A and B are shown apart, each in its own frame.
Chain A
Amino acid sequence: MTRKRVRGGGSTGRAVNAGLGAAGLAAFLALGEAVPRLGIVKERYFPPTSRIARALGDQFTEGTFWTDLGDTLTGWALGLAIAVGAGIVVGVVVSVVPYLRETTASTIEFLRPIPSVALIPLAVLLYGTELRSVLLLVVYASFWQVLVQVMYGVRDVDPVAEETARSYGLGTWARVRHVLWPTALPYVMTGVRLAAAVALILTVTAELVIGAPGLGARIAVAQTSQAVPEMYALIVVTGLLGLLINVGARSVERYALAWHQSVRGEVTV
């Protein structure tokens, strides 16, 4: 289905929306300040916004925070890159080679819903708290997002265009490059955007559960040492990270698809 991104309104409408959004955000933060102060929730469980903000500020001055952030980003970026690369290659090959799609369909449908966290015990045994165990989980989880999108994208290729390219004598590679790839690109981009979010979730999860160095492990440490404001501050950091990744992926998508007329039907899996 088509998503209507920005509906009417023009620049004034957008400004009003932004104003309302800022008001909502301010109200949210104020609520976070008021609820513990009024004693509705114990401060020990839910510190007021200002204390979380101070804890956040303290984090920024600590060197170890930046190393952990770097570790998380490394795991995320490497995992995502591997998953996207593998997803595109496998997706295109499977779709282009005759019979491969039919024979792989059942296997893909079976493997895809397997929850990636099922692999946590295996990752721990094989690689301990190394980066590799994070990568195992991240790649497994995000690979399917990309693969399935690529396969949907390739299926969407206009048969007339395909036949035309064939009758002009374009070889397999040229057809992949000039017919298949442009058609599939919007789907690939959706897949990459979904995979980017999933990769972050799995990176942080792996760090949290396995203890591989990174923001997740830092949250686990803050939790066990009862450093509640720090814990909230770190969670805010992961949220901001997720937000940045979403916004970044959307702008990459818009940039890569600048030539593309419509906003594609969004295929979410």
Chain B
Amino acid sequence: MPPEPPTRPNRWGALPLRVLFVVALPALLFALWWLASDGSTNVYWPPLRTILKTFPDVWTRDRLRADLVPSLLRLLAGYTAAAVVGVGVGTVIGSYRKVRAVCEPVLEFLRAVPPPVLVPVIMLFAGIGDTMKIVVIASGCVWPILLNTIEGVRAVDSVMSETARSYGITGPARIRSVVLPSASPQIFAGLRQALSIGIILMVISEMFAASNGLGFTIVQFQRGFAIPDMWTGILVLGLLGFLLSVVFQLVERRVLGWYHGLRDSSRRSP
């Protein structure tokens, strides 16, 4: 579970000071990079000035549409499929003790396989098109979601589930209003792990065999020794990873707001 650090009483209250804390180090690092690389004649470490100047030329609107959008769509498709399958199957496995015992060793093994090695296998089945990439992303993302859902579902408070049962809340209603909410903090932990795996797999599947996508483009630049262009690609991937994680945090904060609130208040009053 990503624990939101309890907001500490702010010792240095003043807003300007806090802003300073946030921007000081990034600004310093940026300046260092700028200065250290400015006179650089090393082919592999072009001056930051050059990289930034190349950036708008490389990442034009056309390129964004041709590379970034397909990448993101594949990531979205694979991730969504993994989430649906992971939560669905995980709820079933987590609800029945026997099923869990039967599946556990197999799942442990499948989870332990490093997801990128599945790229060659899935290429056999699905060729090198979009299907392959979506399946690769889904097959890597599904494990953390599945296993965390199982954990979350089996840890549902027994008093709560007995109460629900005695009120006659059973079947789908029970899953919707008791099991899933109670497992959701764990499910979100899985979703978060899956997100970074998904990005990795998105890039890797495009590095193997593709005609578009971020991974493909960056490798193209590297092979063509277009070093500043390659650097801009790395920056784009970094920004993308950062943005997706911010979006995820916002969604999580909305969905799990009740849970963090609960935890904070129980921390404050021991």
Contact = CB atoms under 8 A, between A and B. Distances in A.
Interface residues of A, number: 70
A243 interface: yes
A79 interface: no
Interface of A: 1, 3-4, 7, 16-17, 20-25, 27-28, 45-46, 99, 102-107, 110, 112-122, 124-126, 152, 155, 197, 200-201, 204-205, 208-209, 216, 219-220, 222-223, 228, 231-232, 234-235, 238-243, 245-246, 265-269
Contacts, number: 182
Point out which of A110, A113, A126, A205 has the most chain B C-beta atoms below 10 A from its C-beta: A113
A118 B189 contact: no
A265 B120 CA distance: 37
B237 A115 contact: yes
Contacts of B204: 117, 205, 208-209
Is chain A's binding surface mostly helix, strand, loop or mixed?
helix
Contacts of A21: 101-102, 104-105
Interface string B98-110: 1001111110111
Contacts of A46: 124-125
B21 A102 contact: yes
A235 B25 contact: no
B222 interface: yes
Interface in B202-241: 203-204, 207-208, 215, 218-219, 221-222, 227, 230, 233-234, 237-238, 241
B33 interface: no
B244 interface: yes
Interface in B230-264: 230, 233-234, 237-238, 241-242, 244-245
Given A4-B155, A125-B227, A113 B29 contact: no
A98 to B, nearest CB: 10
A120 B205 CA distance: 13
A121 B113 contact: no
